[in-house]
Amino acid sequence: MGRALRTLLAILTAWLMVIGAPTWAAEPDNADIRVLIDISGSMKQNDPQNLRRPALRMLVGLLQPGTEAGVWTFAKYAAELVQPGPVDEAWKRKALAASEKINSPGMFTNIERVMQRAIRQWEGSKPTHRRNLLLLTDGVVDISKNKAESAASRRRILEQLVPQIRAMDAKIHTIALSARADHDLLEQLARETGGWYQQIETADELQRVFLRLFEQAGKPTGVPLKNNKFQVDNTIREATVLLFRSPDAEPPRLTSPTGKSFGRDDAPVYVTWHQDTGYDLITVRDPESGEWSLTAEIDPDNRVMVVTDLKLRVSEVPARIAVGDTLPVTAFLTNDGHLITRRAFLDLVEMRAETVSDIGLAPQPLNDKGQKGDVKSGDGRYSMKFTERQPHAELDLIVAAESATFLREQRHVLSVLEPAKVRVVKDDGGAVVAEMHVDRAVMRLDGAQVTLWQQTAAGEKQAIQAVSEDAGAYRAPIDPSLPVFARLVGVSRLGTHLDHEYGPIYAPGTEPVAVVAEQPVTEAAPALKEPAPTESATEEKGESPPVVEEAPVEDEGTDWVVPTVIFGGVNVLLLLGGVAFWLIRRKRRGAVDDLDLLGDEPIQVAESEAPAGAEAGETAPDADSGDAAEKT
């Protein structure tokens, strides 16, 4: 499509678009992100290149206007490295400078203390931002040489701090950077608060994990990057390109829609090009409208994030759901914080979703027709009921909006988990027992029904009397010569009725197929049957079951003729008016600015004052490598 035609479409779109109801207020629009970084001495071994520094600098560069953030380091003590406050240019300069203070001089690992320091400002206040803690550590709770004191600190974290943080509507996202980290604790912190847990083997993975957690916490507005090309429209005030780079890669270059090509060393004054260990971060202010292209390695984690008033918003997507669960997803467009509802405008927009997992890409239908998960037809909110029948450690849900004049994208990562785990093991006394653990992160324990049984070769069922040792945990002695089966019936955290069966599960050494000798634990085999079609407990009577499928196009007979003629005639008049308007404006100022897409709404860039107070980092910079090179 030529530029002139796109401009005409933009003018027509502006006339058709009406700013409707106030912003959908399910949660705050902006994020408050507080980063907690371990600087204990063991990091010298687990992060020898001090990749925590460039990872933090990458995160700082990605933070968008409207965000609040702060950074703490911890070992025996906790230090406020960057004071929490609004993210503006002054805050970013402080954070980039403070990253040089990250090293590994400390003793002990006082996770309790740094969490207490980081949430102090939140106490007694109502959230104005989505609250998130990003915790990076390579160790266990270790506050003194007295193991009892460290154990008591760990209990206080789980029994006091976690409920307190949950009551503040905050999430804890955790990164375990070593095999010796307290993975049970870090995973529980994330699960109990709805955050994301990630274990990584080496610090080389740190930057990509920081990106993943930033997308979880910050929910940035992005545009799709395909084959190293991306589209910019005139509602975009700033575009930030993140490129991951291998050590032997050629220097990347960026080319504008008018053909101007540049790299870090010859970038124009309106471009900030930050080159660091393993990545480039390129920020373009007031970018040209049109297609931009990159000369660089193609990487699935490369991103383009934008600052704009025309945003795609998506309802809350949890970090984990159960296999067979029903997740309602709603997407909508806002302009300057207001929901766009005008149907004539939305008819020009394609709203779509897809999931990307280890088994490939799967399109997911969104609709605004009042069916298949959509509550009300024509209200500007596109919805679906997402159900996944297979477990996935990681699954990306990508939601996009596309028209002839703009593109928007938002990415979410979630785990799809079995609602229970069943295994057969030998206890300390050598007896063979069956264990079943219901995942409290995705299942409600109240009302859950657990049944265990064994089955003979003739098909005769023998019930097992299981004892609940802990909330959601069951244990029972079994006959090791017979396989174990289990069934869980209950309601998920999302309100979906689930019915899952597991088995057969065999005692170690009695499996009917060849297994590794001395296998200590036998896990549950895949479920015997596909879970029955589920239905959300909150569904209204008469709504269709949550099976994700494409909505059929209804045939309305000949009723379309008269409305089409009327609508077509109106559009012709509008188009003719648009042509005249375009010619007048073109004569006056040479070309039509695509910001007309937003009508008469003013474009305002909020300028925040720098946070008061000096940097509070308590650690001194060292001479480690990895210094950043930046050109403005």
Question: Any idea what DSSP says for residue 128?
Answer: S
**pLDDT score, position 537:** 40
Q: Which residues contact 433 (CB under 8 A, 6 or more apart)?
A: 424, 425, 426, 427, 475, 476, 477, 478
Q: pLDDT per residue over 418-458, tens digit each?
A: 999 999 998 877 889 999 999 999 999 999 999 999 999 88
Q: Alpha carbon of 127 to those of 122, 452, 618: distances in Å?
A: 8, 44, 29
- Tell me the sheet residues that pair with 345: none
Q: How confident is the model at residue 599 (pLDDT cuts 50, 70, 90)?
A: very low
**pLDDT score, position 536:** 40
Cβ atoms of 385 and 321 closer than 8 Å: no
C-alpha 211 chain-centroid distance: 9
**CATH architecture group of domain 420-523:** Sandwich (2.60)
Domains 311-417 and 420-523 share a fold: yes
Q: Alpha carbon of 559 to those of 302, 378, 564, 577: distances in Å?
A: 48, 19, 9, 28
Q: Give the mean pLDDT of 333-358.
A: 93
- Name the pTM for this structure: 0.77
- Count of alpha carbons within 13 Å of 256, Cβ hemisphere only? 17
Give me the amino acid identity at 419: P
Q: Tell me if residue 148 falls in helix, strand or coil.
A: helix
Domains of the chain, by residue range, sit at 31-219+610-631, 311-417, 420-523
Closest listed residue to residue 407, CA positions, set 2, 30, 6, 15: 6
Choose the CATH number for 311-417 among 3.30.450.40, 2.60.40.10, 2.60.120.10, 3.10.129.10: 2.60.40.10
What is the CATH code for 31-219+610-631?
3.40.50.410
Alpha-carbon gap, residue 562 to 582, rounded angstroms: 30
Give me the amino acid identity at 168: M
Q: pLDDT per residue over 148-202, tens digit each?
A: 999 999 999 999 999 999 999 999 999 999 988 999 999 999 999 999 999 998 9
Pair of tokens at residue 131: 């609250």
Could you identify the residue written with the tokens 């909505």?
A: 551
Q: How confident is the model at residue 469 (pLDDT cuts 50, 70, 90)?
A: confident
**pLDDT score, position 592:** 32
Give me the amino acid identity at 340: I
Question: Strand 350-357 relative to strand 338-340: parallel, antiparallel, unpaired?
Answer: unpaired
Closest listed residue to residue 8, CA positions, set 599, 582, 619: 582
pLDDT of 482 higher than 80: yes
**pLDDT score, position 26:** 52
**Continuous H helices in 479-560:** none
Question: Strand 229-232 relative to strand 261-262: parallel, antiparallel, unpaired?
Answer: unpaired
Residue 342, judged by CB atoms within 10 A of its CB (0-12, 13-18, 19+), counts as middle
**pLDDT score, position 263:** 97
Q: Taking the CA atoms of the chain, what radius of gyration do you get in angstroms?
A: 28
Q: pLDDT per residue over 285-318, tens digit each?
A: 999 999 999 999 999 999 999 999 999 999 999 9
pLDDT of 344 higher than 90: no
Q: Give the mean pLDDT of 95-114.
A: 96
Kindly provide the b/e burial profile for residues 142-159, where b requires at least 16 CB atoms within 10 angstroms of the residue's own CB: bbeeeeeebeebbeebee
Q: How confident is the model at residue 262 (pLDDT cuts 50, 70, 90)?
A: very high
